[in-house]
Amino acid sequence: MKNCLYAAGILISGLCFSQETGSKVKASFFDGIVAAGYVDHGAFINFTGPNVSFTHKGLKLIAGMLPSLRIKEDRSPGTKNSPVTPNLGAGITAVYKKIAFQIPVYYNTKTSAENGAWKVGIGLGYSFR
């Protein structure tokens, strides 16, 4: 009987405490990712903000907000806006090891020259965690 209990304990501990990590979903405020990229004839530098992430083995998928600095020259006639503006975007980020690939979307507000629209971009970054 004692040997059966030992065998059951070893079997259960082997299944429960194995070193392979499973997939998990997690919400976080900041993931330590910095990215730079291109959107709507300009550049952006952003950090991952509040998000929901899914981790499976070495791949991490993140969907969330992207606090950013957009760098774009204002080519409208008359008074010019600053070339660097703060902006909040949303997007999907995939992280493999320390390299991050990002697809952000930003909203450009309506102006006298064009209607408001969502603009899709592409970016590459680094994960500090």
pLDDT per residue of the chain (129 residues) written in tens, 0 to 9: 667 666 666 656 655 555 556 677 877 777 789 999 999 888 999 998 899 999 988 899 999 999 999 998 877 777 778 889 999 999 999 999 999 999 999 988 877 777 889 999 999 999 997
d(CA 12, CA 6): 10
Residue written as token pair 């600095």: 69
Residue written as token pair 């997690």: 26
Residue 31 class from Cβ within 10 Å (0-12 exposed, 13-18 middle, 19+ buried)?
A: buried
What pLDDT does residue 92 have?
96
Q: Classify 8 as helix, strand or coil.
A: helix
Spatial contact of 48 and 67, defined as CB atoms under 8 Å apart: no
Residue 28 class from Cβ within 10 Å (0-12 exposed, 13-18 middle, 19+ buried)?
A: middle
d(CA 119, CA 117): 6
**Type of residue at 46:** N
What pLDDT does residue 81 have?
80
What pLDDT does residue 13 have?
60
2 φ/ψ angles, rounded to the nearest 5 degrees: -60, -40
What pLDDT does residue 78 have?
78
User: In the chain, where are the structural domains located?
Assistant: 21-127
What pLDDT does residue 15 have?
53
What pLDDT does residue 24 have?
79
